[in-house]
Amino acid sequence: MPALIFDCDGVLAETEWEAHLPAFNQAFAEFGLPASWSAEDYVERLQFSGGKERIASLLTAEFVRAAGLPSDPAAQAGLVERWHRRKTAIYAERVAAGHIVGRPGVARLVDEALDAGWSLAVASASAEPAVRAVLEYTVGPARAAHFTVLAGDCVPQKKPAPDIYYMALERLKVAPGEAVVIEDSRLGLLAAVSAGISCIVTPSSYTLSEQFDEAIMVISSLGDPSTPLEVIANRSPVMPGSYLTLHDVAACLTP
């Protein structure tokens, strides 16, 4: 059977502003680091795929001196791991407290896929505990139990490298033409198409200005009867109605 693969942040829910960014800043404060990212700062950090990579981008020579940190790369890597572990815990707490907003249509489309026997997965650069927290919050524990979760450092290279999608295809036992990816960013789109998988893009609040020319379809959201989607670009053989159906997704498969 075919497979439907979701990115996490920005696809399942809007997480960056109300969960990730405050969690980074709280972790920095708890560890006494001279860093506090504004929204503008954080947009720049989002060009790095993965939380540890975003934290590590702080470690300029000037920052290391100002924070009194060791210059040894191995010691710095250990600190980044520690800071990121605390940030992930704070993030999960914020998700559990209801600080994020699930995106329209996700749970509905998951139900359609489950009813049709499709395989489901999430492929994300975020830490696995954070991804599982968002997945369960968005679709509920019963639906989440049907997902294969690929997250964090499960592959050597993160998006836009295709590694995580190659792994998803292997785990789900499907060919590239038997899967569709739903992403929200250009980094994720490039990872999916590099793996040979059709990609539907639902831009999130921080990726609206990015270019998605390689996507088979770009829509404002997956949509629900009460929250209609807007078609931004479409190269698929179907035109979605007010919400994306599994029939629409199946038309994006490339056997």
Catalytic residues: 7, 9
Burial of 68 (0-12, 13-18, 19+ CB in 10 A): exposed
Q: Which of 62, 17, 24, 75 is nearest to 43 (CA)?
A: 17
Q: Is the dihedral of CA 96, 99, 100, 102 positive or negative?
A: positive
How far apart, in whole angstroms, are the C-alpha atoms of residue 145 and residue 135?
Answer: 10
Alpha helices in 48-140 (DSSP H): 51-56, 61-67, 73-96, 106-115, 128-139
Q: Which of 141, 244, 242 is nearest to 200 (CA)?
A: 244
Contacts of 161 (CB under 8 A, 6+ apart): 155, 191, 194
Question: 124 with 11: CB under 8 angstroms?
Answer: no
How far apart, in whole angstroms, are the C-alpha atoms of residue 14 and residue 184?
Answer: 10
Q: Which of 243, 238, 194 is nearest to 214 (CA)?
A: 194
Amino acid at site 21? L
Residues in the chain: 255
